[in-house]
Amino acid sequence: MDLSFTQEELDFRDEVRAFLDEKLPKELSEKVRIGGELDKEDMDRWHAILNEKGWLATGWPTEFGGPGWSPVEKHIFEEECAKAHAPRIVPFGLAMLGPVLQTFGSKEQQDQILPRILDGSDWWCQGYSEPGAGSDLASLKTRAVRDGDDYVINGQKTWTTLGQYANKIFCLVRTKTDGKPQEGISFILVDLDTPGIEMRPIKLIEGGHEVNEVFFTDVRVPASNLVGEENQGWTIAKFLLTHERTNIAGVGFSMQGLTELKALARRVKRGGKPLIENPLFAARIAQMEVDLEAMKITNLRMLYTAQTQGAPGPETSILKIKGTVIRQTQNELARRALGPAAAPFPSEDMFGNAALAEPEDVHNAATYFNNRKLSIFGGSNEIQRNILSKAMLEL
């Protein structure tokens, strides 16, 4: 048993810290720190900085232009980025489509698409969920019908995150209607400029524009845009779901969240004393901190499994369930700590003289509401339990 990093890993951590210290723009980290909304320019800027260093596609092997990091190195990088308030790397091209093309894509697709993901030429978004196919993804109805050298797509996708910035979308579409629903799904790449596509914003619970719905009406896509074989889409979708799960616990974000929560509870006063001296409130923080300490080790244990035995198994669903609940508990405690000062809608007026609190408090309640998504997206926590029940507990 040895829970510490090797000297090489510690050296790597120092290198990451030095890089972030030097290259992460202060305007960006401040925006992230206060929970503000990043725009496309912000995200492209950070991607370009990482790409220049060769650290953008953290999960890619070197042959495709990734850094070829081990699971532990990837974890260290993610933890340090969270600590430094670096913007999240947008996952759709880099963490989702990239590995899919590397595993299932043709040589031409790899050569054409992967470099454009790295240099920011393309911004990909995800066309998975539909109004009638959420947790039951296999029931999706968007049709792709073969017509000569094309597929003709009709249907609707939803929850398309950051689709407003995208020029490309990867979709799961139905290419066969008989037999088991899982066996009639294909994975296809679509240019968003193609005639017949309309993207509409969905306004979220806290008022933000993060997701969209995408409508397809007689959209003609070259058959060469198919990834893998026709009707192999479900295999690809499952691969995507089990891949890239090392950061699913969001341990780095939660560690940062704990530090900020404690700072907040020391700053605000109740009964003339810092809130953190209230034993009821302190106990709530402490219980969450204990769960987080355990989570850190659970995460490392699964990284160790990934590092020594290849890919981690279905037990990573544990990380998703526990990690999201911890994060949501932090958001809940932070919102409570601020009390009524959490209520005003975030606006420019809330900074400066009229500020009820510090800049990082302005988005407090919005963050709480927005992060209710954590236990819903990426396979809801109930779906994770279904997966674990079957694959791990064999029930």
Partner 1 sequence: MDFSLTEDRRMLSDSLTRFLADKYGFDHRKTVAYEAPFHDTDLWSEMCELGVLYALAPEDAGGFGGAGFDVTTVFEALGKGLCPAPVLGSLLASSLLTSAGADQAGLLDGSVRYAAAIGELDAPYDLDDIETTFEGGKLSGRKSVIYGGNDAEVFLVAAKSGDTLGVYEVKAADAQVTGYGLIDGGGAAELFMDGTPATEVIADARHALEHALDLGRLALCAEAVGLMDATNEILLDYLRTRKQFGVAIGKFQALQHRAVDLETEIEQARSITILAASRIGEDDQAKIVAMAKNLIGRAARLVSEEAIQMHGGIAMTWEAAVSHYAKRLVMIDAQLGDEDYQLEKVMAGYAA
Which residues bind to partner 1, rule: CB under 8 A? Answer: 1-6, 9, 72, 262, 265, 274, 276-277, 279, 282-283, 285-287, 289-291, 293-298, 300-301, 303-304, 307, 315, 318, 321-322, 382, 384-386, 388-389, 392-395
Whose Cβ is closer to partner 1: residue 120's or residue 274's?
A: 274
CB atoms within 10 A of CB 79: 20
Residues whose CB falls within 8 Å of the CB of residue 301, separated by 6 or more in sequence, listed in order: none
Q: Taking the complex as a whole, how short is the minimal distance between the CB of residue 290 and partner 1, in angstroms?
A: 5
Q: Taking the complex as a whole, how short is the minimal distance between the CB of residue 77 and partner 1, in angstroms?
A: 15
Q: Taking the complex as a whole, how short is the minimal distance between the CB of residue 330 and partner 1, in angstroms?
A: 15
Whose Cβ is closer to partner 1: residue 44's or residue 291's?
A: 291
Whose Cβ is closer to partner 1: residue 48's or residue 286's?
A: 286
Whose Cβ is closer to partner 1: residue 37's or residue 382's?
A: 382
Measured between alpha carbons, how far is 56 from 118 in angstroms, rounded to an integer?
A: 7
Measured between alpha carbons, how far is 201 from 204 in angstroms, rounded to an integer?
A: 9
As given in the structure block, the two tokens for residue 82 are 């969270």
Q: Taking the complex as a whole, how short is the minimal distance between the CB of residue 289 and partner 1, in angstroms?
A: 7
Measured between alpha carbons, how far is 384 from 211 in angstroms, rounded to an integer?
A: 22
Look at residues 185, 180, 75 and name the one whose alpha carbon lies nearest to residue 127: 185
Q: Taking the complex as a whole, how short is the minimal distance between the CB of residue 383 and partner 1, in angstroms?
A: 11
Measured between alpha carbons, how far is 176 from 359 in angstroms, rounded to an integer?
A: 53
244 counts as catalytic: yes
Measured between alpha carbons, how far is 190 from 355 in angstroms, rounded to an integer?
A: 45
Measured between alpha carbons, how far is 322 from 342 in angstroms, rounded to an integer?
A: 26
Whose Cβ is closer to partner 1: residue 319's or residue 362's?
A: 319
The answer to whether the beta carbons of residues 63 and 110 sit under 8 Å apart is no
Whose Cβ is closer to partner 1: residue 260's or residue 289's?
A: 289
Whose Cβ is closer to partner 1: residue 114's or residue 276's?
A: 276
φ and ψ at 187, to 5 degrees?
-110, 120
Measured between alpha carbons, how far is 52 from 120 in angstroms, rounded to an integer?
A: 11
Torsion of CA 364, 365, 367, 373, to 10 degrees: 160
CB atoms within 10 A of CB 23: 14
Which run of H or E residues covers position 234? helix 233-242
Whose Cβ is closer to partner 1: residue 215's or residue 304's?
A: 304
The answer to whether the beta carbons of residues 60 and 98 sit under 8 Å apart is yes
Q: Taking the complex as a whole, how short is the minimal distance between the CB of residue 301 and partner 1, in angstroms?
A: 5
Q: Taking the complex as a whole, how short is the minimal distance between the CB of residue 375 and partner 1, in angstroms?
A: 13
Burial 229-268 (b: 16+ CB within 10 A, else e): ebbbbbbbbebbbebbbbbbbbbbbbbbbbeebbebbeeb
Query: Catalytic residue among 244, 315, 348, 360, which?
Result: 244
Q: What is the 8-class DSSP label of residue 256? A: H
Q: Taking the complex as a whole, how short is the minimal distance between the CB of residue 33 and partner 1, in angstroms?
A: 22
Instruction: List, by residue number, the catalytic residues.
Output: 244
